[in-house]
């Protein structure tokens, strides 16, 4: 059998993935596992998904040849403009897919957890669109730190419930969401926001995000006369924008797969989120993957200036890309990312999300040839980060 970097039928990417969940959650994930591929293949589902991506999200997003950035780096750089999606990032591709899935499964109530609030907003948005009840769990500390996103969720009609245990951040919100799902297995769907969680979530989310790679292929064929670039570059928090940008190129070895993690203040400072370098194998959020943990196996708090990359694990697809060396993993510090964000703003007139700035920060370290065609996934826009940029540069 041909080696593949896609998930296998048991939910594994190499040795990573699976579904390590409490017994009580089994009926919920099993219902989803047994149905998701069938539902996604239905013409009616495809039609509704594609229609909403087009008319509501604003797809296809442009593949933009960044001429001034290209000249600076010394190769041909295209930006895949996910920042132009409704709500300002790629996350909506997945929440649209999952809310349609929830409807097909007969669910009427949606739960989610959020750290920085971006996934909470994307979930609240599609719940408003579909008139569904929406409950978003969020750590009490994060509620204080991310007030504008809390306000957005409320404006959209969602209920934001504080998680008050532990460190009162993302992992505590995740525990609350799982508890809720166990208690409400019949009417509730749990929308996970990245390629993490028990099988089938990583694969389902990757498939919903794969519209990014699908469009890139079509656009490159038109612009370059071939449907693949020499390299695809994306930032990795949990890994969903990266999974979507890589998806159709995973098994095409002529395409370099480049994953950029957040080094925070530096990988040896204990204030970092560079999971592939610092992490060890363990179980987080129901999946076996690489995660940052103490010697006795406690999950450690990650750090990055960018809230969306501040996650202690990476999805199992990425753990496998790292372990198998199919992916080139590299990290950018807060400082490198912030400077790259300022650079893109002034070279191209595009203010990127700080998450995305990490992907832009490493371009000059990758030894591209002048003839190389490189796609950078511009995962989100920087409006939400303006205060952080302003404070950092004292603008």
Ligand X SMILES: *Cc1c(COP(=O)(O)O)cnc(C)c1O
Binding site for ligand X (CB under 6 A): 89, 91, 118, 194, 235-242, 308-309, 353, 355-356, 379-380
Smaller CB distance to ligand X: residue 118 or 169?
118
Q: What's the burial of 295, exposed, middle or buried (CB within 10 Å: 0-12/13-18/19+)?
A: exposed
Smaller CB distance to ligand X: residue 70 or 241?
241
Smaller CB distance to ligand X: residue 203 or 355?
355
Q: Is residue 379 among the annotated active site residues?
A: yes
Alpha carbons 302 and 311: distance in angstroms, whole number:
6
Smaller CB distance to ligand X: residue 242 or 351?
242
Beta bridge partners of 17: 12, 288
Closest-by-Cβ residue to ligand X is 380
Tell me how far, at minimum, the Cβ of 85 lies from ligand X, in Å. Answer: 10
Smaller CB distance to ligand X: residue 258 or 309?
309
3-state secondary structure the chain: CCCCCCCCCCCEECCEECCCCCHHHHHHHHHHHHHHHHHHHCHHHHHHHHHHHHHHHCCCCCEEECHHHHHHHCCEEEEEEHHHCHHHECHHHHHHHHHHHHHHCCCCEEEEEECCCHHHHHHHHHHHHHCCEEEEEEEHHHHHHCHHHHHHHHHCCCEEEEECCCCCCHHHHHHHHHHHHHHCCCCEEECCCCCCCCCCHHHHHHHHHCHHHHHHHHHHHHHHCCCCCCEEEEECCCCHHHHHHHHHHCCCCCCEEEEEEEEECECCCCECCCHHHHCEEEEECCEEEEECECCCCCECCCCCCCHHHCCCECCHHHHHHHHCCCEEEEEEEHHHHHHHHHHHHHHHCCCECHHHHHHHHCHHHCCCCCCCEEEEEECEECHHHHHHHHHHHCC
Name the active-site residue from 70, 76, 80, 91. 91
Tell me how far, at minimum, the Cβ of 89 lies from ligand X, in Å. Answer: 4
Name the active-site residue from 113, 215, 261, 348. 113
Q: Is residue 218 among the annotated active site residues?
A: no
Task: Please give the structure tokens belonging to residue 376.
Answer: 């950078």
Smaller CB distance to ligand X: residue 229 or 382?
382
- Catalytic residue list: 91, 113, 379
């Amino acid at each position: 059998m041909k080696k593949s970097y896609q998930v296998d039928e048991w939910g594994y990417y190499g040795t990573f993935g699976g579904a390590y969940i409490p017994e009580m959650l089994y009926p919920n994930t099993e219902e989803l596992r047994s149905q998701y591929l069938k539902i996604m293949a239905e013409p009616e589902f495809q039609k509704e998904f594609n229609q909403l991506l087009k008319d509501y999200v604003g797809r296809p997003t442009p593949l933009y040849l960044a001429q001034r950035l290209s000249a600076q780096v010394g190769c041909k750089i295209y930006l895949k403009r996910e920042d132009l999606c409704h709500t300002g990032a790629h996350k909506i591709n997945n929440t649209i897919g999952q809310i349609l899935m929830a409807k097909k499964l007969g669910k009427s109530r949606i739960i989610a957890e959020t750290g920085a609030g971006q996934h909470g907003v994307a979930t609240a948005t599609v719940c408003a669109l579909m008139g569904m009840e929406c409950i978003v769990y969020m750590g009490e500390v994060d509620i204080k730190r991310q007030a504008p996103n809390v306000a957005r969720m409320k404006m959209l009609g969602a209920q934001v419930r504080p998680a008050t245990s532990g460190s009162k951040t993302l992992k505590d919100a995740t525990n609350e969401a799982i508890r809720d799902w166990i208690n409400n297995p019949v009417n509730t769907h749990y929308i996970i926001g990245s390629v993490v969680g028990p099988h089938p979530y990583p694969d389902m989310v990757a498939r919903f995000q794969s519209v990014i790679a699908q469009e890139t292929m079509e656009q490159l064929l038109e612009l370059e006369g071939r449907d693949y670039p020499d390299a695809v570059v994306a930032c990795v928090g949990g890994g969903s924008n990266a999974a979507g940008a890589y998806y159709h190129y995973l098994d095409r070895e002529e395409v370099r797969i480049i994953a950029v993690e957040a080094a925070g203040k530096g990988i040896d400072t204990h204030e970092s989120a560079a999971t592939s370098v610092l992490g060890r194998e363990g179980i987080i959020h129901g999946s076996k993957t690489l995660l940052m943990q103490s010697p006795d196996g406690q999950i450690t708090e990650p750090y990055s200036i960018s809230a969306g990359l501040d996650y202690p694990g990476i999805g199992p697809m990425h753990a496998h890309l790292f372990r198998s060396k199919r992916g080139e993993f590299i990290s950018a510090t807060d400082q490198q990312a912030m400077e790259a964000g300022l650079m893109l703003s002034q070279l191209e007139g595009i203010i990127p999300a700080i998450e995305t700035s990490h992907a832009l920060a490493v371009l000059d370290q990758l030894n591209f040839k002048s003839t190389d065609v490189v796609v950078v996934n511009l995962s989100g826009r920087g409006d939400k980060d303006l205060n952080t940029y302003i404070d950092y540069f004292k603008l």
